Structure 1
Amino acid sequence: MTAVTCTNAPVAKRNFSLLTWIVTAVEIRRERAALSQLDAHRLDDLGLTREQAQREASRPIWDVPSHWQQ
């Protein structure tokens, strides 16, 4: 069983320390890797296709949704 953790914390903030950025980047990478390992049933529960999950999982760690950059 694979657990997926979702963080709602903004990634890019003013006065973002390097250590905070590194910790957040590692967490994003771990979450995307977990997403890529989900089976079809779990992806269906999330409303995602395998292609969408793989596309998200292959994004670089600095490529985050714009609403995280507030």
Structure 2
Amino acid sequence: MARLRGLLRAFADSLERARTRRLLGQLNDQQLSDLGISHADRLNEVDKPFWR
């Protein structure tokens, strides 16, 4: 049962990473600047696979 919980948690975490990266990809340059994120940083993050 603990292993199943771990797998479900890993799956949920992967979905959350994919969601936040999708949102990050939608931000404009001003919003990125407000967050202290460069355009290059955004590209590096958005290009990562969902499991990382």
TM-score normalised to structure 2 length: 0.79
| Structure 1 unmatched runs, 5+ | 1-14, 64-70
**Root-mean-square deviation (Å):** 1.5
Alignment of 1:1-70 (within 5 A): 17-63=6-52
Greater fraction helix: 2
- 1:20 is displaced (CA, Å) by 0.9
- 1:40 is displaced (CA, Å) by 0.7
Count of aligned pairs: 49
Structure having the higher Rg: 2
Over 6 Å off, 4+ runs: none
Identity rate of aligned residues, in percent? 31
